[in-house]
């Protein structure tokens, strides 16, 4: 009874601290003191406190980016360009329900909803999810939303899906093997028995060979966004330089986040390790063949298999 009470307190306090301060903690040792020999006593937990520093970076990076995300990525053009491609995937894999993991402002969620798929969108950034809600209101499409970290998805979502989509280079935000593995496991346990996981990231085999610094330049009215990389050993710093012309002067801000560039073989290895089967790799969402040296994207589709 006493243990149940302590566990209840632990979960409530943990959720409260995590949601508000991005601090996590967990018991590393339980010790029965005072009367242990008599079979009673008080169970004392020794706590390990973990400040979610990488997560704090992700929150602040995307919370800052949220108001600009749609104009920087060209929401409207993207809709026209990518919607037919997503439709083909939905038909090919008979997808009626989907989780859009790392949904951002909801571009893929809304394409899927428009195709009649029942969508749950999840993202770690509350600001991005707020934009998603505005976009879905404007387009009059319905999408369920959840704010959660990928690593805690199975606590946050109680249903399963025909497909988990993790698109738009979201997966490279997971910096450690543990985070990547836990996330892929969580995606797998949220799939129906015949469900598929569809991942799209950039082709880092090509990027790490070419080592180009400028990734993209986009101008929208008075604002220019320059997306560029710094290569730091096995990590990449992804920067967004925003230049705004105001009364003849140019103001600037830089927003930076660390990425883990995942190569094709590494991703396939992790997927196999956590139990996915029939892992297929393509060079685009159009499901063109993957070419390590030429493809811009790495698209991987894997089946859940038996749990």
Ligand X SMILES: C[S@@+](CC[C@H](N)C(=O)[O-])C[C@H]1O[C@@H](n2cnc3c(N)ncnc32)[C@H](O)[C@@H]1O
Q: Does 173 bind ligand X (CB under 6 A)?
A: yes
Which residues does 130 contact at the CB level (< 8 Å), separation at least 6? Answer: 66
Sign of CA dihedral 150, 278, 266, 256: negative
**7, 34, 35, 195 from 41: Cα distances, Å:** 16, 5, 5, 48
Which residues does 38 contact at the CB level (< 8 Å), separation at least 6? Answer: none
DSSP string, 93-125: TT-SEEEEET-TTSHHHHHHHHTT-EEEEEES-
For ligand X, which stretch binds (CB under 6 A), given 87-95, 122-130, 238-246, 283-291?
A: 122-130
Q: Does 124 bind ligand X (CB under 6 A)?
A: yes
Choice between 180 and 191, CB closer to ligand X: 180
Torsion of CA 284, 73, 197, 82, to 10 degrees: -50
Angle at 76 between CA 225 and CA 84, to 5 degrees: 125
For the segment 58-77, give every residue that binds ligand X (CB under 6 A).
58, 62, 73
**What is the smallest separation between the CB atom of 104 and ligand X, expressed in angstroms?**
3
Q: Does 169 bind ligand X (CB under 6 A)?
A: yes
For ligand X, which stretch binds (CB under 6 A), given 16-24, 90-98, 121-129, 281-289?
A: 121-129
Cα 244 to its chain centre, rounded Å, is: 29
* Strand-pair partners of 122: 101, 146
Choice between 157 and 302, CB closer to ligand X: 157
For the beta carbon of residue 240, count every other beta carbon within 10 angstroms. 21
Q: Does 149 bind ligand X (CB under 6 A)?
A: yes
Contacting residue, 102, 195, 261, 283, with ligand X by CB under 6 A:
102
Choice between 43 and 52, CB closer to ligand X: 52
State the number of binding residues for ligand X (CB under 6 A).
19
Residue nearest ligand X, Cβ-based: 168
User: Pattern 265-294, binding to ligand X, x per CB under 6 A?
Assistant: ------------------------------
**What is the smallest separation between the CB atom of 37 and ligand X, expressed in angstroms?**
45
**What is the smallest separation between the CB atom of 213 and ligand X, expressed in angstroms?**
19
In contact, 257 and 58? CB cutoff 8 Å? yes
For the segment 180-239, give every residue that binds ligand X (CB under 6 A).
none
Choice between 43 and 83, CB closer to ligand X: 83
Residues at the site binding ligand X, with contacts judged by CB under 6 A: 58, 62, 73, 102-104, 107-108, 123-125, 128, 149-150, 167-170, 173
């Amino acid at each position: 009874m006493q243990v149940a009470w302590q566990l209840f307190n632990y979960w409530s306090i943990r959720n409260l601290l995590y949601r508000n301060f991005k601090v996590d903690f967990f018991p590393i040792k339980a010790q029965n003191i005072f009367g242990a020999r008599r079979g009673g006593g008080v169970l004392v937990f020794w706590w390990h406190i973990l400040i979610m520093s990488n997560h704090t970076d992700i929150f602040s990076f995307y919370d800052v980016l949220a108001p600009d995300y749609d104009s920087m990525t060209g929401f409207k053009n993207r809709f026209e360009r990518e919607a037919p491609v997503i439709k083909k995937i939905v038909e090919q894999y008979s997808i009626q329900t989907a989780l859009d993991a790392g949904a951002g402002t909801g571009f893929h969620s809304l394409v899927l909803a428009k195709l009649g798929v029942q969508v749950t969108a999840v993202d770690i950034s509350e600001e991005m999810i707020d934009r998603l809600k505005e976009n879905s209101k404007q387009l009059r499409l319905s999408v369920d939303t959840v704010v959660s970290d990928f690593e805690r998805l199975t606590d946050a979502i109680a249903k399963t899906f025909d497909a988990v989509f993790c698109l738009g280079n979201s997966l490279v935000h997971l910096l450690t093997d543990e985070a990547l593995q836990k996330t892929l496991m969580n995606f797998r346990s949220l799939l129906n028995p015949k469900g598929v996981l569809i991942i799209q990231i950039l082709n880092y085999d090509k990027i790490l060979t070419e080592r180009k610094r400028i990734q993209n330049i986009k101008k929208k009215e008075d604002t220019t966004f320059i997306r560029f990389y710094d290569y730091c050993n096995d990590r990449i710093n992804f920067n967004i330089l925003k230049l705004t012309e105001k009364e003849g002067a140019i103001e600037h801000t830089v927003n930076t986040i660390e990425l883990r560039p995942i190569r094709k073989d590494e991703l396939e290895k992790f997927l196999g390790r956590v139990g996915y089967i029939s892992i297929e790799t393509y060079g685009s969402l159009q499901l063109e063949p993957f070419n390590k040296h030429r493809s811009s994207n790495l698209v991987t589709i894997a089946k859940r298999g038996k749990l």
